[in-house]
Amino acid sequence: MNYKSVYNIVCRMLAVEAVLLLIPAGVSLAYGEMRSFFCFLITAGITAVLSIPAIIIFRKGDRHALYAKEGLVTVSLAWILWSALGALPFVLEGCIPNYIDALFETVSGFTTTGASILKNIEALPKGMLFWRSFTHWIGGMGVLVFVMTIVPLSDDHSMLLMRAEMPGPTVGKLVPKGKSTAKILYLIYICMTLAEIVFLLFGGMSVFDAFIHAFGTAGTGGFSSYNASIAHFNSIYIEMVIAVFMLLFGINFNIYFFILIRKIKGVLRNDEWKVYLSIIAVATGIIAVATLGIYGAFGTSLRYAFFQVVSFITSTGYVSTSFVAWPAVCRSILLMLMVIGACAGSTGGGLKVSRAIILFRGLKKELHQMLHPKAVSHVKMDGAIVDEKAVKSAAIYFFALFAIIGVSAFAISTDNLSLETNLSAVLSCTGNTGPGYGAASSNFACFSWFSKIILSLDMLFGRLEIFPLLIALTPGVWKKKFF
């Protein structure tokens, strides 16, 4: 283990977090919330004190080789430390006095899950509400991808960290340099966020609310500044703007880059976004018809169906209506969408549509070979043959995901809540979606401190796609001869 490189990069990241904490401090100051202002300053100071000496001591660490093991550990440590320190303002301010609750809320923010323990969101100071949603925006494209755009790292290190952190089966370079790739992705991300803010302002939202909900949409996180979420506005225009942007943020960002450089053939060849849109269309149609009896008019049922389908498949978790009152078939579809998730290389969570395609086509290939043993068949995607290693990797990830879901659901069953509550909460956290069913339909305050820790780990497992965190938690990884 190259400790110097790991510590050097992690400490640089903490220094960036210290600077970012000054932004919500500025918001608090603007609203005259002096207590919140000093809480952010104190947290920024603590974070800076922890980072700066280590950067000086290990300043040459980045010149040493950084391998897969170090990359995976660095990603995990960075996310854990950012969450642990990012929770401090809530505790110091007193709006979330329990540290475990504050940690849950912050992990939920950075992982873009959107699950909350808060019963009255509107009681929070503006600065705290801003920080809560800002964590979504930072975590959406990835903490390390964000840091790579502003902190000097070698190209090899940049690409290694991107592959370890970015969601989905593969992450490739858009341009020769990994750092430049990160900058291109973030430029697209920023432009789309600003575009949504403008559209929301046209819908009558305040500047503060527009930023809060654009952050929640961009990161596909779902934190709102209101208890009723998007339903608070009761506006078709606002719902459609947010729904369309949720859909767009759920598409692989490489697609937007190809559109910008006019590589339309690459866009048309991509299977994932076509399947993604097809799933949304079919699920919306079924739910719209099934809820027609509740809303009376097809236009109204279509409005709510489209919003919730996009919200769940992208793992955003915004709510425009009480979906828990929908028929069982509708709630089952939403659970399936929660598991499938958005496209690889997007800010969305879940299994990812590309993995679902590979798994389905892999199963189809196996069945075909059983019927025709002498036939030669392959799994194809985007018109090309998928390597057997990629098919195996998707299958292993699928197994690991459901193993974690099973173990977690069993662990939190000690709270003696319903099976529906436990299973939906675990699926929601591992899929980074947010809303649950049963007792977890409004918030996660019903769970014990032990269950909140388990669910926080589930959120990290889901966002980091299991293996980086699993490796970091393996004692042997810290030994010299591991791997």
Q: Which of 37-51, 161-175, 366-380 has the highest mean pLDDT?
A: 37-51
Determine, yes or no, domain membership for 301. Answer: no
Nearest in space to 10 (alpha carbons), one of 75, 57, 60: 75
| Confidence class for position 408, pLDDT limits 50, 70, 90 | very high
Nearest in space to 126 (alpha carbons), one of 209, 45, 39, 197: 209
* 3-state secondary structure at position 381: strand
Chain mean pLDDT for the chain: 88
This prediction has a pTM of: 0.91
List % helix, strand, coil for the chain (3-state, nearest 5): 70, 0, 30
Determine, yes or no, domain membership for 26. Answer: yes
* CB-based contact 161:70 (threshold 8 Å): no
Determine, yes or no, domain membership for 8. Answer: yes
Determine, yes or no, domain membership for 66. Answer: yes
For residue 244, the enclosing domain spans 3-253
Q: Does the pLDDT at position 279 exceed 60?
A: yes
- Between the CA atoms of 144, 149, 153 and 157, what dihedral angle is there, to the nearest 10 degrees? 50
pLDDT (0 to 100) of residue 162 = 54
Q: Which of 12-21, 49-58, 117-126 has the highest mean pLDDT?
A: 117-126
Determine, yes or no, domain membership for 10. Answer: yes
Neighbours of 483 (CB within 10 A): 10
Q: Does the pLDDT at position 173 exceed 60?
A: no
pLDDT (0 to 100) of residue 374 = 78
User: Could you tell me the sign of the dihedral formed by the alpha carbons of 445, 448, 453, 455, in that order?
Assistant: negative
The string of DSSP codes covering 99-144 is: HHHHHHHHHHHHTT------S-GGGS-HHHHHHHHHHHHHHHS-HH
Determine, yes or no, domain membership for 59. Answer: yes
Rounded distance between C-alpha atoms, residue 229 and residue 222, angstroms: 8
Which tokens go with 110? 């950075």
Determine, yes or no, domain membership for 363. Answer: no
pLDDT (0 to 100) of residue 175 = 45
Determine, yes or no, domain membership for 137. Answer: yes
Tens digit of pLDDT for each residue in 322-338? 998 999 999 999 999 99
Rounded distance between C-alpha atoms, residue 482 and residue 477, angstroms: 5
The count of domains in the chain is 1
Strand partners of residue 384? 381
Residue with the bigger pLDDT between 355 and 375: it is 355
